[in-house]
Amino acid sequence: MFRRRSDDAAASTVLEKQDETTQARDPQAKKGRPTPKRSEAEAHRRTRVTVPKDRKEAAKQARDRMRVEREKQRQALVDGDERHLPARDKGPVRKFARDYMDARWSLAEFFLPAAVLILVLSIVKVPALQLLSTLLFLLFFVLVALDFVRLGLGLRKQLGERFAGQNTRGTVAYGLMRILQMRRLRLPKPQVRRGERP
């Protein structure tokens, strides 16, 4: 019984002291915590978006936000705008890999058209053409594999020289996958001309 009153009295004195300290603070004095950076303040404002009480309205807003984000990414893939590129394409290392591959000729980019032509030849009911298509496919496959090795080793060497100490994991595979596509179909669009060194 006596104990409860003493606890209440102690709590009330603590609250009174807190009120005095908050009221006694000079407006020109420091606030006791660091000012947040602008990026942190903007991120905090974004997280405090008002969520509608209606679930359908919330879903509609989420769809609209996703649509706008996808449109920004699509436009960035066409223009090469680094700010809105997907995560797999962002950064100076990935940009260098794209430019390195786009500046070079490669047999690999003609692999799909050649494969279609070879497939058509293999369908024809002439045994000589079928044999020729098989030999062409094997020869082209070996040449593309050698081209892959040449370009992959060259890219790995350049990455080691230019980006020493940085994380370049997966960049060689990223560049080789890019070289498999025909130049005009590549996304992000090529930013360098053939023969131009990045």
pTM of the model: 0.64
188 preceded by cis ω (within 30°)? Answer: yes
Q: Answer whether residue 146 shows pLDDT above 70.
A: yes
Mean confidence (pLDDT) of the chain: 82
- Least Cα distance to 19 among 27, 7, 30, 11 occurs for 11
Contact by Cβ (8 Å): 83, 76: yes
- Least Cα distance to 176 among 112, 77, 81, 97 occurs for 97
* Local structure of residue 91 (DSSP, 8 states): S
Cβ-based neighbours of 122, under 8 Å, separated by 6 or more: 129, 130, 133, 134
- The pLDDT tens digits of the residues spanning 119-145 come to 888 888 888 988 988 999 999 999 999
Percent helix, percent strand, percent coil in the chain, to nearest 5: 70, 0, 30
- Rg for the chain, CA atoms, rounded: 31
- Give the CA distances from residue 55 to residues 48, 50, 63, 104, in Å, rounded to whole numbers and listed in that order: 17, 13, 12, 52
Q: State residue 28's pLDDT score.
A: 67
Q: How confident is the model at residue 50 (pLDDT cuts 50, 70, 90)?
A: low
CA distance 150 to 162: 18
* Most confident range, picked from 1-10, 22-31, 123-132: 123-132
Contact by Cβ (8 Å): 85, 188: yes
Residue in the block written with tokens 């223009």: 79
Contact by Cβ (8 Å): 136, 121: yes
